[in-house]
């Protein structure tokens, strides 16, 4: 019997409050325009275009998102004037309906990472083209997300994805392990397919999800309230010609992970990438233009944004890395992985979000000044947790201006983890975290 979604000739559109390039969403500080970047990559010319329109038609504030995209804040009434140059620069979708579905996360070092098992770009381009050009996929929610991991040392493996694929080799054959509604850092794979079946697997998962999900079910985890994961995988195997093989002992190796800040060698001898971060994920137009200029002068004319809300300059000659780092520092970017501010994440907060109970960005800067060593801490203005795609080791949840409840991540606790302290001021939170750090070091 046909399923309800198969009877309908009109594609079902799942409503979303997320901004897009063509859908500018209002906030307290003006509109937000989100520019999706394939694999987080932007050319210098495209970066100039973003910086220019952010300056002319918005507040000049540009944010790096935790999915390696950019968003322009404070957009004024001239939406068309802002969008047209971005489209002309090639930053738009292939067609208006496909802007939301370009949610494929790659490692920021895809193709250049010495530790990679696979250069994911060829498969990624194939998947992105299908996402944009298959009308049915316009039914996917703007939040539905796929990850393709090539085994790089620098990879965000903790963000939950509806579908994740991770490359490994077995007896000389490249396979893609996969999982649903989870992440490669925590979950055992459900199975694996040969690399050449990777595209077909992605298409089959997306189509099966759309066939089975009710309109209000925007993510695979919602569908798993109605059916089991095993049932979904069984149907997948039945309806596609992809041969899914069991994966026994393989788990994603996370031991080579390193900070996104600093200088690291690429596969190509003599070439390095240099990583830096704008404080709390926020750039201004001058910083973005400066980055574009550095990429043209010392790199390959492209920048790669990362899910840590930072940026990499690839293809820098190794001997020029110290100079590039100096120039990044002069632009106002954080280049030292030991700087506590580089480890803090804060949402928009009450300065520009009506739901925010505290000015999280301002409080994060104050907190960073109280910490002697880096600690990964997330300050969130409310329970929605917009700034963090996975639970941080420490979460400060605003309860009033300048006051936060403090949670420590604990695998057995849902949400932010275990509530350890209530209603702390920033000074008190700083003292508590410093004392905890000292006692951890002393143990």
Residues in the site for ligand SF4, rule: CB under 6 A?
347-349, 353, 355-356, 380-382, 384-386
Token match 């935790």: residue?
66
% helix / strand / coil in the chain, to the nearest 5? 35, 25, 40
Structural contact between residues 415 and 431, judged by C-beta atoms closer than 8 angstroms = no
Least distance in Å: CB of 338 to ligand SF4? 27
Residue 406: both structure tokens together: 């403090």
Least distance in Å: CB of 360 to ligand SF4? 6
Helix (H) / strand (E) element for 394: namely strand 394-400
Structural contact between residues 127 and 148, judged by C-beta atoms closer than 8 angstroms = yes
Least distance in Å: CB of 70 to ligand SF4? 17
Nearer to ligand SF4, 9 or 414 (CB): 414
Nearer to ligand SF4, 82 or 382 (CB): 382
Least distance in Å: CB of 376 to ligand SF4? 17
Nearer to ligand SF4, 219 or 378 (CB): 378
Least distance in Å: CB of 150 to ligand SF4? 31
Buried b (16+ CB within 10 A) or exposed e, 234-259: eebeeebebebeebeeeebeeeeeeb
Least distance in Å: CB of 264 to ligand SF4? 32
Nearer to ligand SF4, 41 or 346 (CB): 346
Q: Report how far residue 232's alpha carbon sits from residue 240's, in angstroms, rounded to the nearest whole number.
A: 12
Nearer to ligand SF4, 323 or 386 (CB): 386
Least distance in Å: CB of 380 to ligand SF4? 5
Least distance in Å: CB of 112 to ligand SF4? 33
**Three-class SS state of 30:** strand
Structural contact between residues 380 and 360, judged by C-beta atoms closer than 8 angstroms = yes
Rg (CA), the chain: 22
Nearer to ligand SF4, 153 or 386 (CB): 386
Structural contact between residues 63 and 281, judged by C-beta atoms closer than 8 angstroms = yes
Nearer to ligand SF4, 384 or 438 (CB): 384
Nearer to ligand SF4, 154 or 398 (CB): 398
Tally Cβ neighbours within 10 Å of residue 214: 12
Residue nearest to ligand SF4 (CB): 381
Cα-Cα-Cα-Cα dihedral sign, residues 185, 191, 194, 196:
negative
Token match 């030991």: residue?
338
Nearer to ligand SF4, 266 or 350 (CB): 350
- Give the Cα-Cα-Cα angle 224, 225, 226 (nearest 5 degrees): 85
Least distance in Å: CB of 278 to ligand SF4? 17
Cα-Cα-Cα-Cα dihedral sign, residues 187, 193, 195, 197:
negative
Residue 76: both structure tokens together: 């004024």
Closest CA to 256 of 245, 248, 243, 265: 265
Residue 275: both structure tokens together: 């990583």
Residue 23: both structure tokens together: 């859908």
Nearer to ligand SF4, 197 or 378 (CB): 378
Nearer to ligand SF4, 310 or 385 (CB): 385
Cα-Cα-Cα-Cα dihedral sign, residues 360, 365, 367, 373:
positive
Least distance in Å: CB of 356 to ligand SF4? 3
Nearer to ligand SF4, 244 or 398 (CB): 398
Q: Report how far residue 238's alpha carbon sits from residue 163's, in angstroms, rounded to the nearest whole number.
A: 18
Alpha helices in 68-192 (DSSP H): 79-88, 121-133
Buried b (16+ CB within 10 A) or exposed e, 288-301: bbbbbebbbebbee
Least distance in Å: CB of 347 to ligand SF4? 3
Least distance in Å: CB of 220 to ligand SF4? 23
């Amino acid at each position: 019997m046909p399923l309800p979604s198969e009877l309908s000739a009109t594609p079902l559109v799942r409503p979303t409050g997320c901004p897009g390039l063509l859908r500018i969403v209002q906030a307290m500080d003006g509109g937000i325009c989100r520019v999706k970047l394939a694999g987080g990559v932007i050319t210098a010319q495209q970066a100039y275009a973003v910086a220019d329109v952010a300056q002319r038609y918005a507040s000049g504030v540009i944010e790096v998102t935790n999915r390696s995209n950019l968003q322009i804040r404070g957009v004024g009434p001239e939406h068309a004037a802002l969008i047209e140059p971005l489209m002309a620069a090639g930053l738009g979708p292939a067609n208006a309906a496909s802007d939301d579905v370009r949610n494929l996360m790659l490692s920021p070092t895809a193709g250049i990472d010495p530790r990679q098992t696979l250069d994911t770009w060829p498969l990624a381009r194939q998947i992105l083209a299908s996402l944009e050009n298959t009308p049915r996929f316009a039914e996917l929610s703007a939040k539905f997300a796929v990850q393709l991991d090539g085994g790089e040392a620098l990879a965000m493996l903790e963000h939950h994805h509806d579908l994740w694929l991770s490359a490994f080799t077995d007896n000389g054959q490249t396979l893609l392990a996969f999982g649903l509604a989870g992440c490669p850092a925590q979950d055992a794979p459900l199975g694996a397919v040969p690399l050449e079946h990777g595209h077909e697997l992605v298409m089959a998962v997306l189509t099966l999800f759309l066939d089975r999900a009710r309109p209000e079910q925007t993510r695979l985890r919602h569908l798993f309230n109605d059916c089991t994961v095993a049932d979904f995988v069984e149907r997948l195997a039945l309806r596609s010609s992809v041969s899914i093989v069991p994966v026994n002992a393989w788990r994603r190796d996370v031991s080579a992970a390193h900070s996104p800040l600093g200088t690291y060698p690429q596969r190509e001898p003599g070439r390095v990438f240099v990583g830096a971060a704008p404080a709390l994920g926020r750039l201004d137009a001058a910083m973005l233009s400066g980055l574009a200029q550095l990429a043209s002068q010392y790199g390959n004319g492209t920048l790669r944004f990362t899910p840590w809300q930072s940026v990499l300059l690839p293809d820098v000659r190794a001997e020029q890395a110290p100079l590039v780092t100096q120039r990044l520092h002069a632009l106002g970017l954080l280049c030292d992985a030991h700087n506590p501010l580089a480890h803090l994440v804060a949402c928009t907060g009450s300065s520009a979000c009506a739901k925010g109970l505290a000015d999280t960005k301002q409080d994060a800067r104050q907190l960073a000044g109280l910490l002697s060593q880096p600690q990964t801490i997330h300050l969130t203005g409310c329970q929605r947790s917009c700034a963090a795609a996975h639970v941080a080791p420490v979460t400060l949840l605003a309860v009033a201006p300048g006051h936060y409840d403090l949670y420590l991540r604990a695998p057995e606790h849902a949400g932010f983890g275990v509530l350890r302290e209530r209603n702390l001021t920033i000074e008190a939170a700083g003292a508590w975290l410093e004392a905890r750090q000292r006692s951890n070091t002393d143990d």
